[in-house]
Amino acid sequence: MKKYKIVIDTNVLLSALRSSKGASFKLLSIIDKGLFEFSLSVPLFIEYEAVAKRSPKLIGLTVSVIDDILDYLAEIGNKREIYFLWRPYLKDPKDDLVLEVAVESESDFIITYNKKDFRNVDKFGLKSLTPQEFLKLIKVIK
């Protein structure tokens, strides 16, 4: 089986932090199993942190637990330096952070719940998938 390269959109991380029942949580729970390669950059990580810590009580986690999860993602993620900015390319500048990592890391997929926001990424050889679609692709769920 091919080992795909992915970048995870912030909305997927937030969904995984909010609930342990969905595909987002499943994706994060297997992130260290070697089934795919996960890439991130410093700007994307800062976005993850800002969004995750915006309302920790709504997520139901303490800031300390959020820090531990983010530290783990930073430790296991394929850290990429962005040398070429593709901004503005997408409607939302925060989505450009995801796109830049995906292009630089030569990722196969952007994992997101907002596929419409990444409509034109095929020009970069990328495809956007939901967490559930990706987990089906790698045969983690049916």
Sort strands 36-40 and 78-79 into parallel, antiparallel or unpaired. parallel
What is the second-level CATH architecture of the domain 4-137? 3-Layer(aba) Sandwich (3.40)
pLDDT given at position 1: 67
Q: In the chain, where are the structural domains located?
A: 4-137
pLDDT given at position 121: 92
pLDDT given at position 141: 87
The mean pLDDT of the chain is: 93
* pLDDT per residue as tens digits for the range 40-74: 999 999 999 999 999 888 889 999 999 999 999 99
Which has more pLDDT, 7 or 82?
7
Residue 88 has pLDDT above 80, yes or no: no
Which has more pLDDT, 84 or 70?
70
Residue 96 has pLDDT above 70, yes or no: yes
* 44-53 contacts at long range (C-beta below 8 A, 24 or more positions apart): 44/7, 44/10, 44/97, 44/98, 44/101, 45/70, 45/73, 45/74, 45/77, 47/10, 47/94, 47/97, 48/10, 48/13, 48/73, 51/10, 51/13, 51/14, 52/13, 52/14, 52/17
Residue 32 has pLDDT above 90, yes or no: yes
